[in-house]
Amino acid sequence: MSNGANQLYEFGPYRLDPNRNLLLRGSQTVLLTAKAFETLLTLVQHSNEDVSKEELMRKLWPNTFVEEANLVQHISMVRKALGETPHDHRYIVTLPGRGYRFAERVRLLPSCETDSVLEGGAASPLALKQHARGLTEWLVVAIVVLASASYGVYSIISIGRTTTVFENYAISQITDNAKSQAAAISPDGKYILSEVVDGGMSSLWLRHILTNSATQIVPPSSAFYTSFDFCPDGNYFYFRKARASTLDTFDLYRAPVLGGEPQIVVRDVDSDTGFSPDCKHVVYERGNAPEVGKFQLLLANADGTSEKMIASGPMHSLSRHLAWSPDGKRIALTDVVGDAPGPIQLMDVASGKTQDFAAINGFVFLKSAWLPDGRGLLVQYQDVSSGLNHNQIGFVSYPSGRFQSITKDTNSYESLSLSADAKTLATVQLKRLYTLYAIPASPVAANPLAPAIPQQQKGSLSFSWAANDGFYLAEDNHLVRVLADGSNKTTLLNNAPISAISSCADGRTLLLSLIGQGGGNSTNIWRVNTDGTNLRQLSSGQRDRSPECSADSQWAYYINANASSVERVPTRGGSPETLPRMPQALILDRYFALSPDGKSMAFLIASGEIHKIALVPLEAGSQPQIRLLDPHSPNWYPLRFTPDGKFLVYPIIQNDVEKLWFQPLDGSPGYSMANFKTDQIVGLRWSPDGNMIGVLSRRIDADVVLLRESRTKPQ
């Protein structure tokens, strides 16, 4: 059978669309992970042919060794999605010891024939049925239109047909300082609320678009801001502010648009806010309070009073982005599992019940905004198959759940807000610029620092040492090995969304934190040989992060972010073990280090607003004597032991300059070294011989842009 990219495939009541990575049953989207979708597509494209297990595995995991159990898991996912039972394999037939065959008759459709008759007059039964139903619906609508010319009727017509949003638009840059990292547009489209980050200091500005004049409304400070938004009536703007540089607790503020000091509205808010259409109420989520391991979806008056819970669930179901529909009936929940692919969910406000609305294989949906007429959502999304932190903007229609991309370029778009007339979209074009340094491990390092690998733009980058003269780099879905100056690059893995990497002392093993690898939407710990062979999954949680290899290379330690616990699993494979938990405290999931002798670990914990560094002996049984240290200041990641085990080292900010702080474990005075004037330290590792410190810094260049919908196609 042809496997042309422009074909649609129909079988039974299903339609497979390779262009959009969609499996449809009638008008309903059937959820499939990226690998499961690829498994089904391969079988369908070879319908009534025997496909060997080896051929399928080569197709699904090119240049990568995986165990056969991964293929079996994906076949099981596909069967479940198609409604097969253990005793009824209508679609996929197993060929014992050999492979599989797709047994159902498959019909080919041109990709443009989504819901209409085929060229040449022939039509599939499904297309004819939908076409007839569509004609009936349009006759009813036409009669109503003759009786009324109201805007509401126009909305009905719009919802009844395929919606195109921002198909043609003009883009204009509003700021040119490369320092505007967040933005929101007022409902009337006249003002932009934005944050300017300069030298580690953040300030808030309100800019009048027509005159290009800006007023500073919050002076520069070391604060961190996020979640900018306007209430739909345009009278107030809102934002969240972190209480400390650890960024684990945020409070919600608001201020009048026409002037006034921002005031705290709600304390401890862990998501964006969603406003009711009349601006009288606001919804948000709060995690780990009052019960650790659970979240609450809360409703309050717009001034923060009369707070009440309307839904709750486990922490791994917390959504970071909320959007209240213009009819007030439902709330869109996105980024449900955090940093991993997952569906857009809709919650019925009256009942509190939530259901999946739309999902695209391998897509992480971030911030969303409803169109004013309710016919769909503009969404900020990330396709993990094309690289982490490469956010684009798209549209999902309601109620069909159909997706269309709006932007599809090399920029990353980090904010999303919409004017009330839906004609202007405000966002931020952002570039991440990484520099990798190899600094001599002496108390005084030379300034200015000379980079080992010069600055380069990447969506994501993490590193670990390869012996003493090179690095392993996880860059934009590729695992590579380079020499210390960045030359002689060798690719080890492709199509691998890696969020963290750690090399073991045996020189043969790497530990990776991979997103959505092997099917599913989870982030798990994997091991791989240093030549890129023998990729193997070690953990099976929902959000397993920050792997570290034990000194003897026998154990992989990692953070289970869902359970706020440290776990370990043998690097050869086996059952994970949970290490003793901190009582009444949360482990902050990026702060984690193993001592060089393998006898203790260190991580940052939070109990309320109190932050401590916890030193925990690893071989002390279930009741270890935990030692708590006061950090020099509330610090950001990473946290490492020095090679002699006598110090902890982590980044701090002194006089608006980021430095490395060395904190002795014996209580004596510490010291700082190295100045990173414009960059944030995001990676820190010692060379195997302990003579060098590898430091990864990141600079963000960002400006506010507007997308203005236009009727004419831009040249």
Could you report the per-residue pLDDT of 559-589, keeping only the tens digit for each?
Answer: 888 777 889 999 999 999 988 665 556 666 5
The residue among 41, 76, 110 that closes a domain is 110
Flag whether 125 is in a domain: no
Flag whether 604 is in a domain: yes
Indicate if the pLDDT at residue 663 is higher than 90: yes
Average pLDDT, the chain: 83
The residue among 579, 594, 616 that closes a domain is 579
Provide the pLDDT confidence category of residue 378 given band limits of 50, 70 and 90: very high
The better pLDDT of the pair 444, 563 is held by 563
Residue 13 · residue 25 · CB < 8 Å? yes
For 350-357, the CB contacts below 8 A with 24+ separation are 352/297, 352/310, 352/311, 354/311, 356/31, 357/332, 357/396, 357/398, 357/401
Flag whether 134 is in a domain: no
Same domain, 231 and 371: yes
Same domain, 636 and 602: yes
Provide the pLDDT confidence category of residue 87 given band limits of 50, 70 and 90: low
Q: Which residue's entry shows tokens 């997952």?
A: 342
Give 713's DSSP letter.
Answer: P
| Dist CA 264 CA 246 (whole Å) | 20
Same domain, 201 and 320: yes
Q: Which amino acid is at 55?
A: E
Q: Which region holds residue 372: left if phi is over 0, alpha if psi is between -120 and 50, else beta?
A: alpha
Helix/strand/coil percent split, the chain, to 5: 10, 45, 45
Indicate if the pLDDT at residue 237 is higher than 90: yes
Residue 518 confidence (pLDDT) = 66
Residue 585 confidence (pLDDT) = 63
Indicate if the pLDDT at residue 167 is higher than 70: yes
Q: Which amino acid is at 67?
A: E
| Dist CA 570 CA 551 (whole Å) | 13
Residue 272 · residue 266 · CB < 8 Å? no
Among 657, 700, 698, which residue's Cα sits nearest to residue 222?
Answer: 657
Residue 495 confidence (pLDDT) = 82
At residue 75, the 3 state secondary structure works out as: helix
Provide the pLDDT confidence category of residue 443 given band limits of 50, 70 and 90: low
| Dist CA 343 CA 395 (whole Å) | 14
Residue 207 confidence (pLDDT) = 93
For 554-562, the CB contacts below 8 A with 24+ separation are 556/511, 556/525, 556/527, 557/592, 557/594, 557/601, 558/511, 558/513, 558/525, 559/587, 559/589, 559/590, 559/592, 559/603, 561/338, 561/589, 562/314, 562/315, 562/316
Indicate if the pLDDT at residue 154 is higher than 60: no
Among 110, 107, 91, which residue's Cα sits nearest to residue 39?
Answer: 91
| Dist CA 14 CA 4 (whole Å) | 18
Crossing angle for the helix pair 34-45 and 53-60, nearest 10 degrees?
130
Same domain, 365 and 460: no
| Dist CA 70 CA 65 (whole Å) | 11
Indicate if the pLDDT at residue 515 is higher than 90: no
List the single range of 148-157, 394-403, 524-533, 662-671 with lowest mean pLDDT.
148-157
The better pLDDT of the pair 84, 238 is held by 238
Flag whether 696 is in a domain: no
Residue 43 confidence (pLDDT) = 93
The mean per-residue pLDDT over the stretch 694-702 comes to 92
Tokens of 283: 């919804």
Provide the pLDDT confidence category of residue 555 given band limits of 50, 70 and 90: very high
Distances (CA, A) of 152 to 203, 374, 418: 42, 11, 21
Could you give the number of structural domains in the chain? Answer: 4
Flag whether 115 is in a domain: no
Residue 227 confidence (pLDDT) = 94
| Dist CA 366 CA 238 (whole Å) | 19
The better pLDDT of the pair 526, 151 is held by 526
Side-chain-side CA neighbours of residue 515 (13 Å): 27
The mean per-residue pLDDT over the stretch 71-96 comes to 83
639: CATH = 2.120.10.30
Residue 403 · residue 360 · CB < 8 Å? yes
| Dist CA 698 CA 433 (whole Å) | 6
The mean per-residue pLDDT over the stretch 376-391 comes to 88
Provide the pLDDT confidence category of residue 666 given band limits of 50, 70 and 90: very high
Same domain, 525 and 669: no
Indicate if the pLDDT at residue 141 is higher than 80: no
Same domain, 547 and 633: no
Same domain, 338 and 206: yes
Among 8, 83, 30, which residue's Cα sits nearest to residue 401?
Answer: 30
Indicate if the pLDDT at residue 34 is higher than 60: yes
H/E segment holding residue 107: strand 107-110
Same domain, 585 and 548: no
Same domain, 224 and 188: yes
Q: Which amino acid is at 478?
A: H
- Largest Cα–Cα distance in the chain? 85
Flag whether 195 is in a domain: yes
The mean per-residue pLDDT over the stretch 135-141 comes to 33
At residue 622, the 3 state secondary structure works out as: coil
The mean per-residue pLDDT over the stretch 108-136 comes to 39
Same domain, 14 and 34: yes
- Rounded to the nearest 5 degrees, what angle is found at the Cα of 593, between the Cα atoms of 589 and 598? 135
Residue 588 confidence (pLDDT) = 64
Residue 620 confidence (pLDDT) = 63
Whole-model pTM: value is 0.73
Please give the share of the chain, as a percent, with pLDDT higher than 70: 84
Residue 557 confidence (pLDDT) = 94
Residue 612 confidence (pLDDT) = 85
Q: Which amino acid is at 657?
A: V
Tokens of 231: 């209430």
88: CATH = 1.10.10.10
The mean per-residue pLDDT over the stretch 409-437 comes to 93
List the single range of 149-153, 176-180, 227-231, 515-519 with lowest mean pLDDT.
149-153
Same domain, 606 and 528: no
The mean per-residue pLDDT over the stretch 389-418 comes to 91
Residue 239 · residue 204 · CB < 8 Å? yes
Q: What is the residue range of 554's domain?
A: 442-579
| Dist CA 419 CA 637 (whole Å) | 37
Q: What is the dihedral of CA 339, 685, 451, 704, to 10 degrees?
A: 20
Residue 408 confidence (pLDDT) = 85
The better pLDDT of the pair 581, 596 is held by 596
Residue 339 confidence (pLDDT) = 62
Same domain, 565 and 587: no
Residue 156 confidence (pLDDT) = 28
The mean per-residue pLDDT over the stretch 416-431 comes to 95
Provide the pLDDT confidence category of residue 159 given band limits of 50, 70 and 90: very low
pLDDT in tens, 603-642: 888 766 678 888 888 876 666 788 888 888 766 678 999 9
Residue 42 · residue 51 · CB < 8 Å? yes
The mean per-residue pLDDT over the stretch 539-561 comes to 91
Give 19's DSSP letter.
Answer: T
The residue among 579, 613, 636 that closes a domain is 579
Flag whether 183 is in a domain: yes
pLDDT in tens, 39-76: 999 999 998 889 999 889 888 878 666 677 778 878 88
| Dist CA 257 CA 207 (whole Å) | 11
Provide the pLDDT confidence category of residue 125 given band limits of 50, 70 and 90: very low
Residue 383: strand pairing partners: 363
Residue 521 confidence (pLDDT) = 72
pLDDT in tens, 245-302: 778 889 999 999 888 889 999 999 999 999 999 999 999 999 888 887 789 999 999 9
Flag whether 334 is in a domain: yes
